């Protein structure tokens, strides 16, 4: 592949929000021992990722947390929130807490098998999500507070117990907890 970085452009610009491309390294990612964490992104993977970002609309984020980075809100399919049993109920009640969903193409499952768009993109960018040094499962957290945001700058890895303990991710900033 000639270009080694995929660039997703945030399409909203004004005086407060500057153009900030999201760069995704297309080369294979390896750990310190040389073991491949994520294969090199193929042209098909790059095209699919671009299509995912084409299904977003830019929305202003919390200016204290992300002063110049917009949420990229998914406009495609979303899952049902924990309070309801059907998508229509969520839509009628304007529920938050619904995650962006997609069907992973068979030829891209080597990058991620996750049907959650934010997790799929995170694994495409950083490789498979493993466990913490204590053996605990990690989760991809939305630091912007929007579960339908797929902006890679707003996604952070957290141990599952910390994510559950903190509940509302905004508490991370209040307690000055390191995200990485």
For residue range 125-157, list pLDDT tens digits in order: 988 887 777 788 888 988 888 888 999 988 988
pLDDT at 105: 96
DSSP 68: T
Collapsing DSSP to helix, strand or coil, 31 comes out as coil
Collapsing DSSP to helix, strand or coil, 149 comes out as strand
Please state, as a whole number, how many other Cβ atoms lie within 10 Å of the Cβ of residue 27. 12
pLDDT at 25: 82
Q: How far, in Å, CA of 46 to CA of 50, rounded?
A: 6
List all residues 6 or more positions away from 112 whose beta carbon is below 8 Å from its beta carbon: 104, 119, 120, 123, 124, 128
pLDDT at 123: 92
DSSP letters for 86-147: SHHHHHHTT-S-PPBB-PPPGGGTTT---SBHHHHHHHHHH----B-TTSPBEEEEETTS-T
For residue range 39-49, list pLDDT tens digits in order: 889 999 999 99
Is pLDDT larger for residue 56 or for residue 37?
Answer: 56
DSSP letters for 32-57: TTS-EEEPPPPHHHHHHHHHHHHTEE
Residue 77 has pLDDT above 90, yes or no: no
Report the predicted TM-score, pTM, of the whole model to 2 decimal places. Answer: 0.76
């Amino acid at each position: 592949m000639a270009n080694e970085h995929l660039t997703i452009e945030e399409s909203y610009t004004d005086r407060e929000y500057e153009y900030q491309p999201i760069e995704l390294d297309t080369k294979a990612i390896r750990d310190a021992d040389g073991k491949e964490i994520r294969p090199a992104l193929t042209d098909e993977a790059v095209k699919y990722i671009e299509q995912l970002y084409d299904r977003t609309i830019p929305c202003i984020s919390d200016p204290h947390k992300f002063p110049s980075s917009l949420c990229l809100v998914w406009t495609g399919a979303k899952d049902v929130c924990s309070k309801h049993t059907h998508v229509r109920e969520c839509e009628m009640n304007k529920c938050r807490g619904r995650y962006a969903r997609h069907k992973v193409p068979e030829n891209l499952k080597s990058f991620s098998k996750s049907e959650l768009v934010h997790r799929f993109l995170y694994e495409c960018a950083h490789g498979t999500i493993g466990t913490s040094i204590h053996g605990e499962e990690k989760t991809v957290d939305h630091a912007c507070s929007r579960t339908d945001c797929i902006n890679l700058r707003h996604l952070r890895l957290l141990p599952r117990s910390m994510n559950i303990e903190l509940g509302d991710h905004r508490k991370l900033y209040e307690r000055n907890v390191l995200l990485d």
